[in-house]
Chain A
């Protein structure tokens, strides 16, 4: 009994905190692992959908990570992908229904992309790489951490795209009318997905410039 007590670590040990913080920078799902790019391009034209999308992904990722982690010893290895997909799909449908019930407008804007969370490589990747071999609590933290890293990039991109593409933040006009009178025009390219990709590129550029660990040796 006393031995077991020793092994039990505190809920927020350094190791567990690390699970939350490394995905924000050093192993960011978008800028370092380059996963989940499609949704980062698709839903970031405005800030509101991007935030809702991030929260949805967070809920799905944390919940399915916990469920898979609980089931991990009972899943036959040969059909584990199918089991994971079933779990993710269930969560996504739940989230989709909740969104439809409470924030119908945003749900309409996100349209098919909520359903496409199922195919978000980050979730599948975390289930395979982490939840299948770890206890529920670390798996939960890992899910939250990765979703935070994903959401952080999404919000930054969406902020820049909405500001320069539509001149608004949360649909509230922030660029004063005087600018427009003076000849300022919203940048139509920011609304289009290619510019989102370039924005991701710039974020990666800046991140690598400031993070020594990420600089590759040639």
Chain B
């Protein structure tokens, strides 16, 4: 560590004002703060809450909480691939095959995204923010394993520029950049993002590669895997979303560290479950009759609820608003699944829609609070 510190200190003057590489200041700064706590701390005077947690720490915790899903997803790519070929090699062969698929996706996602972030920070004279560490980790987890790398690169660039930088960078975005990247892929290249061909890497044509949701959409309910398989994640799907268990482990870490808000997470599940129950009551077709809990473990519901809906930037900020926000996400996601024949998975669209509505919800929560307090004040004055 000391060697690194000395090295950085030695290089520092070059990057400061008047130095050789003044223009690359943002890049140096991001590298330095990645390894060490910044020298500039809160001024000793005044009342401040002093805490070791800053944006970097927050983002790293989220990335760590994504690891269970990532590792399982990597293994599952291999597992599904060899299953479709009718082979069953050992654990490491499956993991290795998956790693060959996942690592290029991660490299492209981080490379393109961080490159653009640094470029924009440089032009604007900002510091490079860490927000993208999480987004770049999320994007490979919500795409099919075989997505072409150039399409992924394009989607990441689109998400960073039009989802984030045009609004002012980290913390200013209206919609979740990772989901925006997925939405871009979904609408721009539907052939590589949906259907039942894409979810298993290099499968045989004879083997059905439909996800449980894909099957449900065409009314093929006999193929629905068992609860155990869906909960553990032994099903085809996007890389990170198949295993509900691994997602919940990550979610637990987020809740324990207090980084994700339990209100949003909990109400998304509640909303989806209640909508499922309502459909059970209605029961007009087979899709409405599937058990309500099954909605929560199928497709990207759990992943969206734990990692996407809880994004503090795009979610509602008020406590009461979070309940509405989460609840509506869950309900709309299940609604889209059951009713819309074009989109097998409603989670992405539900979260993006509610992202847009989040400021409106906050506005009305605050308005109603103001009104309530005004009323109380008037009563107090009168009596």
Contact = CB atoms under 8 A, between A and B. Distances in A.
> A and B, one complex?
yes
Nearest to A188: B188
Contacts of A201: 162, 166
A188 B154 CA distance: 13
Given A188-B187, A188-B188, A201-B166, 10 more contacts: A183-B150, A185-B191, A185-B192, A187-B189, A188-B189, A189-B187, A190-B188, A192-B187, A201-B162, A205-B166
Interface in B218-236: none
A34 interface: no
A94 interface: no
B173 interface: no
A116 interface: no
Interface residues of B, number: 12
A189 B190 CA distance: 9
Nearest to B183: A189
Contacts of A188: 187-190
A185 B151 contact: yes
Contacts of A185: 148, 151, 189, 191-192
Contacts of B189: 185, 187-188
Nearest to A205: B166
Contacts of B191: 185
B372 to A, nearest CB: 35
B184 interface: yes
Interface string A179-201: 00001010111101000001001
Label chain A's interface by main secondary structure: helix
A190 B166 CA distance: 19
B193 to A, nearest CB: 10
Interface of A: 183, 185, 187-190, 192, 198, 201, 205
A189 B162 contact: no
B218 to A, nearest CB: 22
8 interchain residue pairs of minimum CB distance: A189-B188, A189-B187, A187-B188, A188-B188, A185-B189, A183-B148, A188-B190, A188-B187
Interface string B163-203: 00010000000000000000010011111100000000000
Contacts of B162: 198, 201
Nearest to B193: A188
A21 to B, nearest CB: 29
Contacts of B192: 185
16 contacts: A183-B148, A183-B150, A185-B151, A185-B189, A185-B191, A188-B187, A188-B188, A189-B184, A189-B187, A189-B188, A190-B188, A192-B187, A198-B162, A201-B162, A201-B166, A205-B166
A160 to B, nearest CB: 14
Contacts of A183: 148, 150
A198 B163 CA distance: 11
A187 B157 CA distance: 14
A188 B151 CA distance: 12
A107 to B, nearest CB: 29
Contacts of B188: 187-190
Interface string B128-164: 0000000000000000000010110000000000100
B197 to A, nearest CB: 14
Among the interface residues B162, B166, B188, which one has the most CB atoms of the partner chain A within 10 A?
A: B188
A188 B186 CA distance: 9
A16 B190 CA distance: 50
A192 B187 CA distance: 9
Contacts of A192: 187
Contacts of A198: 162
A113 to B, nearest CB: 23
Contacts of A190: 188
B354 to A, nearest CB: 18
A147 to B, nearest CB: 30
Contacts of B150: 183
A205 B167 CA distance: 12
A70 to B, nearest CB: 46
Nearest to A187: B188
Contacts of B187: 188-189, 192
B103 to A, nearest CB: 19
Interface in B333-378: none
Nearest to B188: A189
Among the interface residues A185, A190, A201, which one has the most CB atoms of the partner chain B within 10 A?
A: A185
B381 to A, nearest CB: 40
Contacts of A189: 184, 187-188
Interface string B306-331: 00000000000000000000000000
B242 to A, nearest CB: 26
A98 B66 CA distance: 62
Contacts of B190: 188
Nearest to A189: B188
Nearest to A165: B188
A205 B184 CA distance: 21
Contacts of A187: 188-189
A55 to B, nearest CB: 31
A201 B165 CA distance: 13
Nearest to A190: B188
A170 to B, nearest CB: 23
